[in-house]
Every structure is written in structure tokens, then in C-alpha cells.
Amino acid sequence: MELSSRLHHVTPSLTLAIDSKAKALRAQGINVCSFAAGEPDFDTPEHIKAAAAAALEKNFTRYTAVAGILELREAIAKKFLADNKIEYQAEEIIVSNGAKQSCFNAIMATVGEGDEVIIPAPYWTSYPEMVRLAGAQPVIVPTTAENHWKMTARDFENAMSPRTKMIIINSPSNPTGAIYTQEELRALAEVAADEEILILSDEIYEKLCYEEASHVSIASVTPEAHDLTITINGFSKTYAMTGWRLGYLGAPQKIVKAIESLQSHSSSNACSFAQYGAVAALEGSQQCVLDMRDEFNIRREYMFSRLQKIDRISVLKPSGAFYMLADITSFGMSSTNFSDRLISKSNVAVVPGVAFGHDKTIRLSYAVGMDVIKEGLDRLEDFCKTL
Ligand code: PMP
Ligand code: GLU
């Protein structure tokens, strides 16, 4: 049987595959230290669970509007204005089953055959695959540790062609933790505006910024950027709600209408009662977010200090998100080879950088407990000595 040609050039998500492998090994009783998952180990805060449970109890169990309940879209509009200085009306917002679906919908609705989409590497593993699924061509722009893993306006200009339709910005970044400054975003936005290139801004790690770093939304930097940008966010990382599958986007009305139509033929609405949990997340106290961020920061400091001391590994201190991208060039191995040997010899799971378009690195998530981090880094250190 021939499968659809749409899938010929698409590979399954390696981040999810490795996470599942680590979970399966653990289920067999193997003591795996997993740095694979981009998933907070915290439980969803009680007030969020209580709001969803109350909605369920009240039998709020039917279809909702495709774009999500008005109460949630209004809460998101308020959040966009207060936190991101972006003005979106409730009609310019659509709630989906995770930021992943929001990204997928945004790409599907705006790019197609013959279009090119510029993606700075290292990138989140799903972007190029989504672009290919839409029939378009990803144009990968490498960045370097020396440049703090950031694409400059000049890199962007050099990568452009008459076919360029969109650029994807993910700040704070998965997997590098890089955060673009207001000036850097403005420079990129000016290039995009000159050629009317759409900007997909994935801001899912917005609340995880450390030390002096702060998050800026590219849609807020100029009125032109506002009109070209699709701003994506979600609840998974900020509120430890990965399993709830709730994300959202804000964009100009024309794009939102197209996405709403697309979603109306695929998943319809996000889970009805979960949406009330999301309202509570946005409207309740944000102390839980700060507490989780502080804990991630403690782990970041610890993991960074340990990785720095491992011979032949080099690492840049990330400013945001909860990942560390460690350079393994001096071992002379592909990232897959290194990661495979690490899990089979030492029961430590990491994601090979090849999944992010950088084969000389491995990614470690520090969204796991301190005990796992300590043990896993001890094992990694011992493993490196054997190479
Ligand atoms: N964007 C980035 C950069 C991510 O790392 C993730 C991780 N899952 C997502 C989007 C999707 O998040 P979710 O679908 O859980 O909201
Ligand atoms: N985004 C997370 C990660 O990069 C979760 C897995 C995924 O959705 O790809 O690990």
C-alpha cells in the first residue's frame, strides 16, 4: 500500500520518540535519568485543576465555539495586552490543542507549494516538518554559539528569495535558550516588513527568562510587525499543563478566520472544561509561575556549572526556556551515535542535536528533579571519560 506522498519527507518527532523510549525503559524497572522531555515535572497548580473540575461537574462537556470559549479568548486578549503589549481583539484569537497545533494551523493556513519559510537553526524539531507537510520548503539558516545562537537581520536578508513567505522566530528558544532583544527583533521586523514576509513568533517559553533577560514580543515592536505576525503561546510550559493540550494564537483577522476554518474540519475545539482551567491559569495569581521559574533557575545554574566542568564538552549559558545545548564536537561522533551510546551504556537519555538541525550538539532538559539532574550528570561525566 502506498501512503500519501505528503509524508515522504517527514520524520516523526525525535523529542517525543526519545521521551517515550525513556519512559518505556523506566516502566521495565530500569533506572533511567532522562533529560529528554521538554516537560515540566511539576504538577498543574491546584486552582487551575479546581476550575476545570468545577466546569466538568457543571456538565460543561459539550462542543464549544471552534475558536474557544469567549471568556478564555477575552482573558487571552487581556494577557496579550498586559504582558506583551499587543492589541488583539477576542476575534483575533484562536484556542487550539496545544501550541503545536497552533503552529501547525498557522503554517498550513498561510504557506503552500512554492513558498519558502526561513528557520534559524538550531530550531525546534517540528518546524521544518510542519513546513514540509504544508508543501513548502524550509530554508535553514545556521546560527553559532559565538553569535549566541541568534539570527541577525543580515542573515535573514541573505536567506531571502522572492519565494520567502514566512520567518519563524522562537524566543526564548528551544533548544538553545537564546532570547532576542527588542533591538534585534526590531531589525528582523524591519526586514520582514520591507518584503511583507509573515512572522511566526512562537513564545511558549515567554515566562522562563533568567537573570537580566526579558521577553519581548515581535508583534509589539512596530505597527507593521503587528500586522505580519502570528503570535503563538500556550499553557504547557508556563503552568505545567502539557497533558491538557491547550495553546493559542493571536493574528490579524484574515489569518484567524482561515485557521478557524481549517480547525473546524480537523479537531474542532480544544477540550471544553479544560478551557475553564486555562481561564483560571490566566486570571489567578501568577505566583506559581514565578515559583516554578525560580526552581528552573536553580537547576539551570547547577546543570551549567556541572557541564562546564566536563572535559571536552562546551556549553553556553542559556538565558531562557529549560534546555541546555551542549557541544560534543571534540568527541568526533554524530549526535545520534553519542546519544545512543549514552543511553545504552549509562541509561541517560538526551536528545541528539540532529533533531534540531545541529549534529554537533546534544540537548539536555532541566525540567526534571534535582536528584535526576545530579545522578544523570554524574553518569554523563563518567561516560565521557570512557570515550
Ligand atoms: N513550541 C515549542 C518551541 C516547544 O518546545 C513546544 C513543546 N512541546 C511547543 C511549541 C508545543 O507545546 P504544546 O503543544 O504542548 O503547547
Ligand atoms: N517541545 C518539547 C520538546 O522539545 C516536547 C516534545 C515535543 O512536543 O516535541 O521536548
- 222-256 burial, b at 16+ Cβ within 10 Å, e below that, comes to beebbebbbbbbbbbbbbbbbebbbbbbbbbeebb
Residue with cell 554523563: 380
- pLDDT of residue 162 exceeding 90, the answer is yes
Pick the range with the lowest mean pLDDT from 26-35, 67-76, 114-123, 260-269: 26-35
Q: What percent of the chain has pLDDT over 70?
A: 100
The span from the CA of 352 to the CA of 354, in Å, is 5
- pLDDT of residue 319 exceeding 90, the answer is yes
- pLDDT of residue 19 exceeding 90, the answer is no
| Average pLDDT of the chain, as a whole number | 97
Q: How far is the CA of 341 from the centre of ligand 2 (A)?
A: 22
Mean pLDDT of 36-62: 97
Mean pLDDT of 259-264: 98
The span from the CA of 30 to the CA of 122, in Å, is 31
- pLDDT of residue 20 exceeding 90, the answer is no
Ligand positioned closest to the Cα atom of 100: 1
Best CA proximity match to 300, nearest among 243, 366, 346: 366
Question: What is the per-residue DSSP string for 239-293?
Answer: TT-GGG--EEEE--HHHHHHHHHHHHTTT-SSPHHHHHHHHHHHHS-SHHHHHHH
Ligand positioned closest to the Cα atom of 127: 1
Quick check: CB of 17 below 6 Å from ligand 2?
no
Residue-wise pLDDT for 352-386, tens only, equals: 999 999 999 999 999 999 999 999 999 999 999 99
Quick check: CB of 96 below 6 Å from ligand 1?
no
Ligand positioned closest to the Cα atom of 104: 1
Residue-wise pLDDT for 105-147, tens only, equals: 999 999 999 999 999 999 999 999 999 999 999 999 999 999 9
Sign of CA dihedral 207, 213, 218, 222: positive
Q: Is the peptide bond before 318 cis (omega within 30 degrees of 0)?
A: no
Q: How far is the CA of 176 from the centre of ligand 1 (A)?
A: 14
Identify the pLDDT of residue 211.
96
Q: 352 — phi, psi (to 5°)? A: -65, 140
Domains belonging to the chain, first-starting first, are: 5-44+287-385 (3.90.1150.10), 61-283 (3.40.640.10)
In the structure, what pLDDT confidence band is assigned to residue 255 with cuts at 50, 70 and 90? Answer: very high
- pLDDT of residue 10 exceeding 90, the answer is no
Q: Is the peptide bond before 122 cis (omega within 30 degrees of 0)?
A: yes
Kindly report the protein residue whose alpha carbon is nearest to atom 9 of ligand 2: 15
Mean pLDDT of 175-184: 98
Q: Is the pTM of this model over 0.95?
A: yes
Contact call for residues 170 and 124 (beta carbons, < 8 A): yes
The span from the CA of 156 to the CA of 249, in Å, is 24
Q: What residues contact 154, with CB distance under 8 A and at least 6 apart? A: none
Mean pLDDT of 189-208: 98
Quick check: CB of 38 below 6 Å from ligand 2?
yes
Question: What is the per-residue DSSP string for 171-198?
Answer: SS-TTT-----HHHHHHHHHHHHHHT-E
Q: How far is the CA of 187 from the centre of ligand 2 (A)?
A: 29
Quick check: CB of 15 below 6 Å from ligand 2?
yes
Question: Nine-digit cell at 45?
Answer: 497548580
The span from the CA of 283 to the CA of 162, in Å, is 44
- pLDDT of residue 281 exceeding 90, the answer is yes
User: Length of the chain, please?
Assistant: 387
Quick check: CB of 38 below 6 Å from ligand 1?
yes
Identify the pLDDT of residue 358.
97
Q: Which of 14, 174, 242 has most ligand 2 atoms within 8 Å of CB, for mutation? A: 174
Residue-wise pLDDT for 205-250, tens only, equals: 999 999 999 999 999 999 999 999 999 999 999 999 999 999 999 9
The span from the CA of 181 to the CA of 366, in Å, is 24
Quick check: CB of 358 below 6 Å from ligand 1?
no
Letter for the amino acid at 368? V
Quick check: CB of 247 below 6 Å from ligand 1?
yes
- pLDDT of residue 30 exceeding 90, the answer is yes
- pLDDT of residue 14 exceeding 90, the answer is no
Contact call for residues 30 and 347 (beta carbons, < 8 A): yes
Quick check: CB of 105 below 6 Å from ligand 1?
no
Q: How far is CA 332 from CA 89, 212, 287, in A?
A: 52, 35, 45
Q: How far is the CA of 234 from the centre of ligand 2 (A)?
A: 13
- pLDDT of residue 8 exceeding 90, the answer is no
Contact call for residues 55 and 273 (beta carbons, < 8 A): yes
Q: What residues contact 20, with CB distance under 8 A and at least 6 apart? A: none
